[in-house]
């Protein structure tokens, strides 16, 4: 009974993290997209801006593979992580490990949501016009072709480099220039925390429980 209760508790925790991250991520993105023109920037502090940009690529605006292929890869990755989390819950793995995996899954799912639906339900964002809600299927793009909304910009250090520095002397320097969103932050936080606090689990990562491995080995021997 205690084992079943723990499994339920871990399940609800993982679901809660995913739902919470997705909700916060989407609320922020919708508010930004429906209130700012593309490339608008709101100065919050000297080192923090809300700066609305969109991208077709990966986290922090990177573009490496075509949009459709990236979207399909993201969906497959989220499905695999979700399946792995279910295995971890069944094995009653460490709570922190499950929580961080759920955080990473939620972040990846948040950006997938943009790709899947934003092109269908929003009009085009431009530097001169704020996006509007559109009838479903009449937005700016097709399914899986939506652009990911980014908004957090932290130019913590912005200065001109001294002339004495070889090659880059005199150039304008910004420490941490990427613009990102809440989903990106969830992924990055989860990955860093895994590396710091769950190295044992990462070193012994397994998609199957020991009992499942034993059962598979027994089946192979019987065959």
The mean pLDDT value for 19-43 works out to 97
Q: Express each pLDDT in 106-164 by its tens digit.
A: 999 999 999 999 999 999 999 999 999 999 999 999 998 899 999 999 987 777 777 67
Quick one: tokens of 184? 């990106």
Predicted local distance difference test score (pLDDT) of residue 89: 95
Which member of 40, 46, 160, 184 is catalytic?
A: 184
H or E segment at 42? strand 41-45
Distance CA 114, CA 46 (A): 29
Q: Is the pLDDT of residue 166 over 60?
A: yes
Q: What is the CA radius of gyration of the chain?
A: 21
Q: Is 184 known to be catalytic?
A: yes
Q: Is 142 known to be catalytic?
A: no
Predicted local distance difference test score (pLDDT) of residue 47: 85
Q: Angle between the 182-197 and 95-113 helix axes, to the nearest 10 degrees?
A: 160
Q: Is the pLDDT of residue 13 over 60?
A: yes
Higher pLDDT, 53 or 174: 53
* 172 strand-pairing partners: 160
Number of H helices, E strands in the chain: 7, 6
Which member of 25, 40, 142, 150 is catalytic?
A: 150
Torsion of CA 181, 186, 188, 190, to 10 degrees: 180
Please, is 103 exposed, middle or buried when counting C-beta atoms within 10 Å of its C-beta (0-12, 13-18, 19+)?
buried
Predicted local distance difference test score (pLDDT) of residue 18: 97
Distance CA 6, CA 1 (A): 9
Confidence of residue 1 (pLDDT cuts 50, 70, 90): low
Model pTM?
Answer: 0.83
Distance CA 111, CA 90 (A): 27
């Amino acid at each position: 009974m205690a084992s079943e209760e723990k499994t339920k508790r871990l399940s609800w925790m993982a679901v809660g993290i995913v739902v919470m991250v997705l909700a916060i991520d989407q609320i922020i993105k919708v508010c930004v997209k429906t209130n700012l023109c593309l490339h608008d920037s709101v100065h919050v502090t000297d080192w923090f801006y809300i700066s609305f940009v969109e991208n077709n690529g990966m986290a922090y605006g990177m573009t490496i593979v075509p949009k459709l292929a990236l979207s399909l890869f993201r969906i497959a990755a989220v499905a695999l992580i979700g399946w792995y989390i279910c295995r971890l819950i069944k094995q009653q793995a460490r709570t922190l490990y499950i929580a961080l995996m759920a955080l990473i899954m939620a972040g990846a799912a948040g950006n997938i949501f943009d790709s899947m639906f934003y092109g269908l339900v929003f009009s085009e964002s431009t530097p001169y016009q704020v996006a509007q809600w559109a009838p479903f299927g009449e937005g700016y793009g097709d399914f899986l072709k939506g652009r990911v909304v980014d908004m957090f910009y932290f130019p913590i250090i912005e200065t001109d480099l001294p002339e004495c520095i070889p090659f880059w002397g005199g150039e304008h320097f910004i420490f941490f220039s990427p613009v990102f969103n809440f989903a990106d932050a969830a992924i990055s936080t989860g990955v860093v925390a895994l590396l710091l606090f769950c190295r044992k689990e990462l070193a012994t990562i397994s998609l199957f429980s020991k009992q499942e491995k034993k059962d598979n080995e027994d089946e192979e021997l019987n065959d």
